[in-house]
């Protein structure tokens, strides 16, 4: 089986992908999302320099537990030599594939040539990808990028997709905005379709996929192999379960209030296990997943700094709502 075939098979089995998100898609959140229907995940991006230095951050972000699969490791950096060295090291963790971040628009990343900064020099980007793909074979190497750096009148993604395929890249994820757009404006999925039409490698569509309906529509409109879900999963991780049901023609089951509380409880426990009591504060970024309970619970959770106190608040919530108390554990 070729590299391209192996990742095509992987995406055929796992059409919905949890996107890499800085300080979000760590091991506890990936594990929690798998319980809500996610299967294929990508780690937070890891800087090449951190990997080479074997920093504590890099070790945490590249460590893949047996139950944390299939998962890809995403790396970023501006120096192609360091990226190559880091890729070889990251491959030792035996991810299902290695992804190169060429799409992060944040100025502190793109401004120094990493992430979407590579789009300023597509030829250098292709050569960098070529070297890494050759060095890591047979491990698939993929690239996540945007449709261009900007302005909107200059979108190199279609030609770039061809060149990346020729360089040995096994699959391509396209966030359908320019780097200069950041998260503003609407993602134009047609660019993923145009890129997909000129390559034989799998293309994954990303950007503005907020609901299960968006998943189905993005796949139908682009013909892409998979859809990558990012920010929507932070507040509603059940989007994976709902999208899978919708694609299968099955009823979409909304999370119960009890399920929302249990998800938050399990996530805070996992975060504290990894980070100590700081995990309590880390979990608050997901408070919106509590849905209708947010107005009541958010002020309480934001004032409470301890795990014991947080668990007590969540236990009270379970017992205070009749519908929750009757829900199965």
| Catalytic positions | 104
From 47, 41, 34, 39, select the one nearest 19 (Cα to Cα).
Answer: 41
Type and span of the H or E element at 216: helix 212-222
231 close to 20: Cβ distance less than 8 angstroms: no
Contacts of 138 (CB under 8 A, 6+ apart): 3, 6
For residue 71, with 0-12 CB atoms within 10 Å meaning exposed, 13-18 middle and 19 or more buried, which class applies?
buried
Three-state SS string over 182-204 comes to: CCCCCCCCHHHHHHHHCCCCCEE
77 close to 84: Cβ distance less than 8 angstroms: no
Map residue 169 onto helix, strand or coil. Answer: coil
From 84, 65, 87, select the one nearest 74 (Cα to Cα).
Answer: 87
Q: How far apart are CA 10 and CA 40, in angstroms?
A: 9
Identify the DSSP state of 96: S
Peptide bond into 320 cis (omega under 30): no
Q: How far apart are CA 251 and CA 245, in angstroms?
A: 6
């Amino acid at each position: 089986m070729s590299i391209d075939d192996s990742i095509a098979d992987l995406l055929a089995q796992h059409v919905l992908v949890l996107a890499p998100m800085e300080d979000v898609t760590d091991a506890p959140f990936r594990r929690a999302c798998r319980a809500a229907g996610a299967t294929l995940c990508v780690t937070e991006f890891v800087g090449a320099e951190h990997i080479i230095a074997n920093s504590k951050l890099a070790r945490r972000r590249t460590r893949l537990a047996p139950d944390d699969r299939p998962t890809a490791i995403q790396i970023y950096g501006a120096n192609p030599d360091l990226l190559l060295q880091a890729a070889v090291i990251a491959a030792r963790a035996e991810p299902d594939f290695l992804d190169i971040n060429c799409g992060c628009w944040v100025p502190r990343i793109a401004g120094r040539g990493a992430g979407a900064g590579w789009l300023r020099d597509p030829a250098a980007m292709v050569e960098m990808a070529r070297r890494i793909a050759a060095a890591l074979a047979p491990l698939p190497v993929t690239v996540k990028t945007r449709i261009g750096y900007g302005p909107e009148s200059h979108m190199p993604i279609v030609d770039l997709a061809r060149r990346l395929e020729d360089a040995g890249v096994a699959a391509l994820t396209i966030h359908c905005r320019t780097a200069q757009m950041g998260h503003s404006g609407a993602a134009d999925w047609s660019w993923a379709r145009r890129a997909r039409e000129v390559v034989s490698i799998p293309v994954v569509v990303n950007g503005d996929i907020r609901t299960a309906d968006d998943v189905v529509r993005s796949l139908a409109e682009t013909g892409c192999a998979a859809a990558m879900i990012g920010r929507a999963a932070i507040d509603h991780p059940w989007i994976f379960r709902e999208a899978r049901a919708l694609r299968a023609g099955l009823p979409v089951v909304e999370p119960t209030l009890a399920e929302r509380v249990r998800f938050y409880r399990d996530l805070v426990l996992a975060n504290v296990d990894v980070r100590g009591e700081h995990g309590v504060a880390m979990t608050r970024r997901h408070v919106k997943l509590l849905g209708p309970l947010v107005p009541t619970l958010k002020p309480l959770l934001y004032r409470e700094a301890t795990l014991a106190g947080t668990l007590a608040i969540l236990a009270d919530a379970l017992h205070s709502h009749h519908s929750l108390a009757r829900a199965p554990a």
